[in-house]
Structure 1
Amino acid sequence: MALRRCHLNPKKTLFLLCDIQEKFRPAMPLFDNMVKNADKLTKAGKALDVPLIVTEHYPEKLGKTVEQLDISHAKLVSGKTYFSMFTPEVKAAIKDIFNDKPEDVVLYGLESHICVEQTAIDFLQQNINVYIVADCCSSRLNQDRDLALDRLRQAGCVITTSESVIFDLVRDKNNPKFDAVRKLVNPPSQDMKLTRQPSGSDVGSSKL
């Protein structure tokens, strides 16, 4: 059953950055565009004091998170061999951060149809709302990414974009953090060539 759509609250939201590692760059279309969008989102989360957890898939072979992303504020940076981010280490960090669990997770990274999809399913099974940031996700084939987004929408995730998430967390121009965030969103997000849905609305529409 789909979970209730609600506004994001920085105090009840967790950012999950999934496996955006340098070794994946040559294999991923639009990788640089994705990183620029993820950088905007991650910096906004830092400015808004949204906790961040980062995973790196098999970092001994696949390397660390790309240097363009500032993850210095992350509550946990954890290597993994599971495809899902929902590892024992991540579970423990979440309990420590929230003294239970967040209401919402904002999930982005790669690959969309493997690690992102399996992570989303695991969090949905915990009755946590999952927001998939479509313009910050990638797969080796765009069709794998797009079909994964379709499946995750059907599973009950909210499919959204980086700017939609940022403005939903801010909510008000008079938010004291607005000026810092405004500098991040002034440049438009990078085009990730997301497909259009049968309804005629873009995958990343801010009206979701």
Structure 2
Amino acid sequence: MLKPEESVIVFIDVQGKLAQIMHQTESLHNKLTGLILGAQLFEMPIVWLEQLPDKLGATAEPLNSLLAQTSSPIAKHHFSAWPCEAFRNQLAELGRKNIIIAGIEAHICVYQTCSDLIDQGFNLHVVSDCVSSRTAENKNLGIQMMQAKGAQVTGLETLLFELQHEAQGERFKKLLKIIK
């Protein structure tokens, strides 16, 4: 079972015009908002990445504003985040082996980052409704490839309730508002 104090969210490349043409983009953005709010509720760090932000643009709103409350984006130019020294340094500083991954595109940047992190000994959890690609086929392919590589596949609601562990308390009440 995942525990908030042992986990980190890796949020990948939900930027500019590309973020608006993902398969089921409105649902994706709603789920990503829930993931960010959930991470904040559980006081989990978010490592936030942007692919070539000078060309692709900044992270889409309102995600950008929510993320900026607790972190700053790391610019990258490889599809995988692993070659980015700032990314590796941030993960090392956090010292957490459980990585919860979300973002776009599932079959490119999310998959390659996931693959590299698994190769480095991290435990990966892909939030299936918090990743997407321009087509459903590529989203599904990306999830299948990550799972074949050894990643666990979960959904946002499953993840948040797993992190919560119990159906009581103030945090549970706040969690219910995020889910609804």
Shorter-normalised TM-score: what interval? over 0.9
Identity %: 25
Structure 2: where are the runs of 5+ without partners? none
Q: Deviations over 1:174-199 (max 9, x none)?
A: 3542121111012xxxxxxxxxxxxx
What does residue range 88-107 of structure 1 map to in structure 2 within 5 Å? 88-98=85-95, 102-107=96-101
Question: Structure 1 CA distance, aligned partners of 2:57 and 2:75?
Answer: 10
- Aligned counterpart in structure 2 of residue 109 of structure 1, from 86, 103, 108: 103
User: What TM-score do the two structures reach when normalised by structure 2?
Assistant: 0.93
Contact 1:76 1:93 in 2 (8 A): no
The structural deviation recorded for 1:52 is 0.4
- Aligned counterpart in structure 2 of residue 47 of structure 1, from 41, 59, 62: 41
SS of 2:67's equivalent in the other structure is coil
Contact 1:52 1:76 in 2 (8 A): no
1:122 lines up with 2:106 in the alignment: no
Question: Structure 1 CA distance, aligned partners of 2:158 and 2:113?
Answer: 21
Contact 1:17 1:108 in 2 (8 A): yes
Q: Which residue of 2 aligns with 1:78?
A: 74
- Aligned counterpart in structure 2 of residue 161 of structure 1, from 155, 165, 180: 155
Task: Report the residue type matching 1:36 in the other structure.
Answer: N
Q: Which residue of 2 aligns with 1:3?
A: none
Aligned residue pairs total 177
1:149 lines up with 2:113 in the alignment: no
User: What TM-score do the two structures reach when normalised by structure 1?
Assistant: 0.81
Question: Structure 1 CA distance, aligned partners of 2:88 and 2:143?
Answer: 24
Question: Structure 2 CA distance, aligned partners of 1:42 and 1:109?
Answer: 12
Question: Structure 2 CA distance, aligned partners of 1:95 and 1:184?
Answer: 30
Q: Which has the higher helix share?
A: 2
Contact 1:134 1:149 in 2 (8 A): yes
Contact 1:132 1:158 in 2 (8 A): yes
Q: Which residue of 2 aligns with 1:206?
A: none
The structural deviation recorded for 1:26 is 4.2
Contact 2:19 2:60 in 1 (8 A): no
The structural deviation recorded for 1:74 is 3.7
1:73–1:94 Cα change, 3 Å:
farther
Runs of 4+ in 1 over 6 A off after TM superposition: none
Q: Deviations over 1:61-102 (max 9, x none)?
A: 11111112110244441111111122210111112222xxx1
SS of 1:94's equivalent in the other structure is helix
